């Protein structure tokens, strides 16, 4: 049975309205956020119009504020924004969608003033505005606003999207815009693109960047931004209309040579059952040979295009080649799932052997850990320990944690690699971590019956003291941990 002192709605109701009111006044004293919440509730009890007035008044206060919002104030502001947003969608939307739509737009318009004076490295604040874009789309469907008028409001927002706050807006507004609204938004965006192209930017002075259209000179950034923003808007409209050719027409000649852009075009062509065109586009934008990192999207799209054309064997060969070159897991998974039963087992064993002999031991280890194939990871570490670089702590540390229960020796060797790198290179900033690794090695040594060709823990410790005895920072860090 629940105690009567447990904080829940039923027990609090027993206090009575008068006592609860007194407690709320007491709790809200000194808390502006709590007071605002109570005012909202009181306004909502009177009417939706009174609540709208209260929300509008507070949004105006936020808009007019000028103080800088450092990282310590972000959480408080986020809570305030969410209180206002939730009041709009939970209280106003059911009662008055038109008023709710107007207020959610006012909420969205706060973004510029907030981002211009805030320091939000976490991205917490923009989440509220992206959520408001979703809200706006839903509320707009229930409102009486004409599709053409909605299109003009969406367009105005897109012209002022410097912080990416309106990125989800077109997709969320598509149901409310309908055919007529999309047509109007397309018309406005096309004019925007044309105007950006007509304004010839200065092409003099120093080059300050490079885009898909070539070098960017001082003085032309604004036009490039408008051009890109208009193209993105028109791309989303083309996708909403299922207009593949319209999407492709928006890509510049230089952009079409990009493997990523070609993959995007191919994805749409494949959905339109135009696999031959998709393959042609992809082959015209093939990544340069010798490239360090693969373009997974391009490779997957090419395999899918071959498959759609009935060239399944070529598609499978291509997937295997891509896997062998980069150890990209998705290619192997796509390859295996298309094989008959039992053939996939043999193919997976072949793949594991290929990974074990891969020239880059760290990439091979990462593959085994993520697949996962812990037995193979253990064998790789024991066989190729001399190739492991302790500087790759972002791979070695989590791998040692995962392996320590079943494979304590392999986990120990990874820890030793990180310790050795830190001491041999006098990385004093890592001494504390290295000391923790050494203590972990001591614990793991109790689980290891046979160190094989590797030094047992006491011998390894003696070697560290002999080779690095003068690195007092490390030994002091170690002493503090005991």
8 token code pair: 């829940």
Do 387 and 310 lie in one domain? The reply is no
Does residue 439 belong to any structural domain of this protein? yes
Name which of 81, 106, 104, 82 is nearest 93 in CA terms.
Answer: 104
Number of compact structural domains in the chain: 2
Q: What is the pLDDT of residue 426?
A: 96
CB 445 within 8 A of CB 412: yes
Do 259 and 330 lie in one domain? The reply is yes
pTM: 0.80
Picking from 316, 339, 357, the residue at the C-terminal end of a domain is 357
Burial of 34 (0-12, 13-18, 19+ CB in 10 A): middle
Picking from 338, 357, 376, the residue at the C-terminal end of a domain is 357
Distances (CA, A) of 395 to 26, 232, 356, 371, 390: 53, 37, 16, 14, 9
Does residue 228 belong to any structural domain of this protein? no
Distance between CA atoms of 373 and 29, rounded to whole angstroms? 58
Do 343 and 372 lie in one domain? The reply is no
pLDDT greater at residue 27 or residue 419? 419
pLDDT by residue (tens digit) across 229-277?
Answer: 999 999 999 999 999 999 999 999 999 999 999 999 999 999 999 999 9
Do 382 and 311 lie in one domain? The reply is no
Q: What is the pLDDT of residue 186?
A: 97
Do 391 and 453 lie in one domain? The reply is yes
Check pLDDT > 70 for residue 180: yes
Do 457 and 343 lie in one domain? The reply is no
Does residue 256 belong to any structural domain of this protein? yes
Q: What is the pLDDT of residue 197?
A: 78
Picking from 357, 380, 397, the residue at the C-terminal end of a domain is 357
Distance between CA atoms of 470 and 123, rounded to whole angstroms? 45
Burial of 430 (0-12, 13-18, 19+ CB in 10 A): buried
Q: What is the pLDDT of residue 401?
A: 98
Distance between CA atoms of 381 and 404, rounded to whole angstroms? 13
261 token code pair: 């852009």
| Residue whose entry in the numeric block shows the structure tokens 């950034």 | 221
Do 365 and 352 lie in one domain? The reply is no
Distance between CA atoms of 75 and 296, rounded to whole angstroms? 37
Q: Which segments of 159-272 does DSSP mark as H helices, in order?
A: 169-198, 221-241, 244-249, 253-256, 259-271
Distance between CA atoms of 442 and 456, rounded to whole angstroms? 10
Do 368 and 346 lie in one domain? The reply is no
Q: Tell me, rounded to whole angstroms, the distance of Cα 292 from its chain centroid.
A: 23
Do 346 and 373 lie in one domain? The reply is no
Range in 55-64, 174-183, 322-331 with the lowest mean pLDDT: 55-64
Do 335 and 440 lie in one domain? The reply is no
Range of the domain at 305: 251-286+296-357
Domain of 268, CATH number, reads 1.25.40
């Amino acid at each position: 049975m629940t105690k009567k002192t447990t904080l829940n709605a039923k027990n609090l109701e027993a206090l009575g309205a008068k006592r609860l009111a007194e407690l709320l006044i007491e709790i809200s004293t000194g808390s502006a956020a709590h007071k605002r919440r109570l005012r909202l509730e009181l306004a909502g009890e009177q009417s939706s119009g009174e609540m709208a007035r209260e929300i509008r008044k507070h949004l105006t206060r936020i808009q007019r504020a000028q103080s800088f919002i450092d990282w310590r104030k972000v959480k408080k502001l986020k809570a305030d924004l969410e209180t206002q947003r939730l009041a709009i969608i939970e209280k106003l939307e059911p009662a008055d969608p038109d008023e709710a739509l107007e207020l959610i737009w006012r909420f969205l318009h706060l973004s510029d003033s907030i981002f211009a004076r805030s320091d939000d490295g976490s991205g917490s604040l923009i989440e509220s505005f992206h959520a408001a874009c979703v809200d706006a789309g839903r509320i707009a469907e229930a409102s009486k606003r004409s599709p053409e008028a909605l299109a003009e409001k969406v367009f105005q927002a897109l012209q002022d999207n410097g912080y990416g706050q309106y990125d989800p807006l077109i997709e969320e507004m598509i149901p409310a815009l309908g055919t007529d609204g999309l047509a109007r938004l397309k018309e406005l965006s096309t004019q925007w693109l044309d105007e950006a192209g007509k304004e010839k930017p200065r092409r003099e002075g120093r080059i300050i960047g490079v885009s898909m259209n070539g070098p960017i000179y001082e003085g032309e950034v604004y036009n490039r931004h408008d051009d890109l923003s208009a193209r993105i808007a028109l791309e989303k409209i083309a996708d909403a209309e299922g207009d593949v050719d319209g999407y492709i027409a928006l890509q510049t000649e230089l952009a079409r040579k990009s493997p990523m852009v070609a993959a995007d075009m191919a994805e749409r062509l494949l959905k339109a059952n135009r696999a031959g065109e998709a393959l042609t586009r992809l082959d015209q934008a093939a990544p340069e040979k010798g490239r360090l990192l693969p373009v997974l999207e391009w490779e997957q799209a090419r395999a899918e295009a071959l498959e759609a054309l009935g060239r399944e064997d070529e598609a499978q060969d291509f997937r295997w080649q891509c896997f062998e070159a980069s150890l990209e897991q998705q290619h192997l998974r796509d390859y295996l799932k298309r094989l008959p039963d039992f053939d996939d087992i043999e193919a997976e064993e072949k793949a594991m052997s290929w990974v074990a002999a891969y020239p880059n031991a760290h990439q091979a280890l990462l593959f085994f850990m993520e697949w996962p194939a812990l037995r193979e990871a253990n064998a790789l570490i024991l066989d190729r320990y001399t190739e492991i670089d302790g500087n790759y702590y972002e791979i070695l540390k989590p791998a040692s944690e995962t392996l320590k229960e079943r494979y304590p020796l392999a986990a120990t060797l990874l820890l030793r690699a990180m310790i050795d790198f830190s001491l041999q290179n006098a990385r004093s900033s890592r001494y504390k971590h290295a000391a923790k690794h050494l203590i972990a090695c001591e614990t793991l040594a109790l689980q290891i019956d046979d160190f094989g060709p590797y030094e047992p823990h006491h011998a390894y410790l003696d070697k560290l003291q002999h080779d690095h005895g003068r690195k007092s920072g490390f030994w002091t860090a170690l002493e503090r941990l005991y």
